[in-house]
Amino acid sequence: MPGQFRKPPVPSTPASTGKPIQKSQPIAAPTPTIARRPPVATRIPNKISRRSTNVTRAEQRIVKRQAVREQVNQVQPRSRPVVRPTTPPVKSMPKRPAPPPVPLKLSAKPPQPRTAPTGVPNSLSRGVPARAAAVGATAVAATGAVLALNASVAHPDISLDVNSLQSTLSDLQNRSDFSEISADLSNLDATINNVLNLLESARGKGYKYQADMEDIAYSAVDRWQTVRDQVEKAIPQQIRTAQARLNALNPYIQRLNANIRNASVATASLKAAQDQANQISWDLQQAENSLEANYNEIENDIRQLNARLTTIHWALDQLTEARFKLENGEDLVMAVPNRWDKEGKEDPEGVLYLTNQRLIFERKEKVATKKVLFVTTSSELVQEVLFSQPLSTVASIKAQSKGLFGHQDFIEAQFSDSKLGTLSLHINGQDSKHWVTLIERAKSGQIEDERTSGSGISFSDLTGPLTNGDLMAIQAEFNEIQDEMMLKDVQADLAELENEVNTLARDLAELRARGYAVEKSLEADIQVLTAQWQHVKARAEATVELQLKNLNQHMTSLKDGLARLMGMSSNLTAARPQYVSLKSAIASAEAQAEAAEDTVLDMYDEYADEVEALSTHFEWVTWMLDAISTASFRLLATESGVAATEAVWLRPGLEPENGILYLTDQRLLWEDRVGEYELKIAVPLQQITDARETSDETAEFDEIAISFDGSADVPVDTAQFQLALPVADDWLQMIGRARAGDYTGDRAVQLDEAELERVRNAPEQCSNCGAAFTAPVLRGQAEITCEYCGVVERI
């Protein structure tokens, strides 16, 4: 099924002359139903869940991926869904779709004024994870058992539905002990402890600003004491309720097992069991959401604070390594990876520092000292201050968004010093508007309002004395960061991508064999993508190798720090400063690893997105073919299916009915799938007068309305459907294409060898600024526009 999800408009940005930061040398730092209107998914499974995730980097990547999709649609107009379908389609559907999980809401509540929590919070005392584990163990012991379905002897006509029901029952069994909620409590305990240690370490290293961090930390700890106890007390009651509901399900399973060999007799029992299981699933989701709502805001506040502290520790480490010293009374405000954007390809890279007195740019990059056949065999670190200006000399400062997609952050600084004039500074991983605000506040002296007073309760009073358990925990953190510093996620992702590329042609061949007769250009699309894979793979692997060399140096320092800490295990009081220092070093290393991952991801992310779009499209086509194969109707001899999705018909004044909405190259159909199958809507495309979305951004499900002319043999003039997945935009585009006859006129496109050779020999970098072309070349594409400087290269 083709399609593209709704996304916010990306402002058009004129092509700029900005050059890309050379990211090869960073200094910085079955698919379940998902929530409505999801963001573009990142391809690094564990990346977003990392405590130190840089939100700005993630947002920039989303904006870029959305902009690339718009550009792709200009070259090849088509719909490609972002979400994958729920597979396979069950023969007999429940009355309503399974509920999508509710995403966490961002906190809009400002932090409360700082007040020290009363006493040492139990939830943050050392050894808390054992409490959560105990809750989980109690939950498992108390959970009711659901009888197993005898799926192996089910009649072939209902075996698909029986297997689907068994999967649902297993899911209910796993969720009914609320172990994920218990794990959330333990994880949040650990994250709060980590934040308090990082905050203590940052202040200990001399970071004086962002005094609101104490307010947020104290407020979170104070609220967490109450919330944690409330959630822990509520879990056993929820478990008892779930146990009772699961026990009540067993008679339905018994009746189904008794007749499971006889499809006609078992149908009613199967439907009843499905309805009950679906209702329990819905209720469990609401119970989980209710428990999570108690701590969502605290979790969000703490994660944001953790990300801020990770950036601060990276900045403090860079200052420690800098070749300049701060003056008396001068304190660091912030630092950011930066490129001084001059004319030409050799723009210096380094770190931009902001203090309460100066704006400083220190070049800090590795340059080649020896090359063999254009390959660097030797390099050295160049580190020198290129400008250091009092803030009083900053005449003006403004934020700019440059690049083809407007996702490159620049600040334009005008100095009163005529030797500098106006500089264009390309910052990486932080927001340019935020930096303009910081510089203006530092220049005016308002930044001093953010200076911490150093008063308040000690963080060690909140977290308790250092224990052997803490040493074991930091050893585990070290092991985790070691995997991150080895870039295991991106390397595994590259291997997975290669497998996906290699299976595209086979997957399409299977769909063709099953009767998918439209979009004949898909074969050519796959050939074009496959022809580029070796170039993409070589570029990504070379970048991985380079990043690993840089990260290994930091890993050596961490190993030494951990060895010193473990050597002090006999005197835990004396070991606390080393413990806090190592926590800081790990936070800085996390920022380095994330920057390195982003650098590698930039080498293949757009290509991977195109492969992912094709793979997702094939899953939708498979889902449609599975649904058609079990439908109560047959396609016409000259008809081909285009798309299908689970949809509830919202009938005015009547009970909604669940079923499947089909689109072919000739008709729109809706089939009731609850109980006996019945085709209730079958309308030629010529009789459709309008199709529009009726749901808004806050709706839980997408809804579309389709209007028919007076000749249509349907009981209503307009049929309104609630879609189980967020694919309304996709369906509106596909209905429009079908009405225009695009699918009927879609003929095979033979791709000759000359076209493939042209794609293989396409330019790989910009001739003007040297930026790598990382976006895939599409079939029929005649030129490439550099996303950094806007220069157009002919293919």
Q: In sequence order, what are the beta bridge partners of 447?
A: none
Residue 170: inside a domain, yes or no? yes
Q: Judge whether 431 and 408 are in contact, CB under 8 Å.
A: no
Which one of 115-129, 218-232, 587-601 scores highest in mean pLDDT?
Answer: 218-232
Q: In terms of Cα–Cα distance, which of 381, 331, 386 is closest to 356?
A: 331
* Per-residue pLDDT, 360: 95
Residue bearing the bigger pLDDT, 566 or 405:
566
What tokens does 276 get?
């009950």
Residue 74: inside a domain, yes or no? no
**Could you report how far apart the first and last alpha carbons of the chain are, in Å?**
30
Q: What average pLDDT score do residues 530-552 get?
A: 89
Residue 427: inside a domain, yes or no? no
Element (H, E) at 689: strand 688-693
What tokens does 156 get?
């072939």
pLDDT of 76-89, one tens digit each?
Answer: 556 666 677 765 66
Largest alpha-carbon pair distance within the chain?
90
Question: Is the pLDDT at 678 greater than 70, yes or no?
Answer: yes
pLDDT of 109-118, one tens digit each?
Answer: 444 444 444 4
pLDDT of 455-475, one tens digit each?
Answer: 545 566 566 688 888 888 888
Calpha distance 505→527 (Å, rounded)? 8
Lowest-confidence segment of 404-418, 532-546, 713-727 by average pLDDT: 404-418
Residue 327: inside a domain, yes or no? no
Q: Judge whether 645 and 25 are in contact, CB under 8 Å.
A: no
Q: What average pLDDT score do residues 671-688 get?
A: 89
pLDDT of 117-139, one tens digit each?
Answer: 444 444 454 433 334 444 444 44
Calpha distance 620→624 (Å, rounded)? 6
Mean pLDDT of the chain: 79
Residue bearing the bigger pLDDT, 115 or 158:
158
Q: Judge whether 98 and 278 are in contact, CB under 8 Å.
A: yes
Amino acid at 597: E
Range of the domain at 688: 631-739
Q: In terms of Cα–Cα distance, which of 544, 357, 352, 582 is closest to 447?
A: 357
Check which CATH number belongs to the domain holding 679 and give it.
2.30.29.30
Q: What length is written for the chain?
A: 795
Residue 66: inside a domain, yes or no? no
* Per-residue pLDDT, 76: 56
Q: What average pLDDT score do residues 188-199 get?
A: 88
Residue where one domain finishes, among candidates 739, 767, 790: 739
Residue 224: inside a domain, yes or no? yes
Half-sphere exposure in the Cβ direction for 72 (13 Å, CA): 24
Residue where one domain finishes, among candidates 263, 287, 312: 312
Amino acid at 151: A
pLDDT category of residue 563 using cuts at 50, 70 and 90: very high
Q: In sequence order, what are the beta bridge partners of 616?
A: none
* Per-residue pLDDT, 227: 92
Residue where one domain finishes, among candidates 708, 739, 770: 739
Backbone angles phi, psi at 668, to 5 degrees: -115, 130
Calpha distance 291→517 (Å, rounded)? 48
Q: What average pLDDT score do residues 587-594 get?
A: 83
Residue 664: inside a domain, yes or no? yes
Q: In terms of Cα–Cα distance, which of 701, 625, 632 is closest to 97?
A: 701
Question: Is the pLDDT at 358 greater than 50, yes or no?
Answer: yes
Amino acid at 54: N
* Per-residue pLDDT, 458: 58
Half-sphere exposure in the Cβ direction for 652 (13 Å, CA): 7
Q: Alpha helices of 102-149 — where are they, by DSSP H?
A: 128-142
pLDDT category of residue 328 using cuts at 50, 70 and 90: very high
pLDDT of 470-516, one tens digit each?
Answer: 888 888 888 888 888 888 888 998 999 999 999 999 999 999 888 88
* Per-residue pLDDT, 62: 64
Inter-CA distances, 460 with 248, 577, 584, Å: 50, 11, 15
Domain count, the chain: 2
Question: Is the pLDDT at 562 greater than 50, yes or no?
Answer: yes
Residue 541: inside a domain, yes or no? no
Q: In terms of Cα–Cα distance, which of 35, 98, 89 is closest to 283?
A: 98
Per cent of the chain over pLDDT 70 is 76
Calpha distance 206→315 (Å, rounded)? 12
What tokens does 393 get?
């000399």
If DSSP states are collapsed to H, E and C, what string results for 144-167? CCCCCCCHHHCCCCCHHHHHHHHH
Map residue 784 onto helix, strand or coil: strand
Per cent of the chain over pLDDT 90 is 29
Calpha distance 27→553 (Å, rounded)? 12
Q: Judge whether 701 and 695 are in contact, CB under 8 Å.
A: yes
Q: What average pLDDT score do residues 746-771 get?
A: 67
Q: What is the pTM of this model?
A: 0.66
* Per-residue pLDDT, 723: 92
Question: Is the pLDDT at 530 greater than 70, yes or no?
Answer: yes
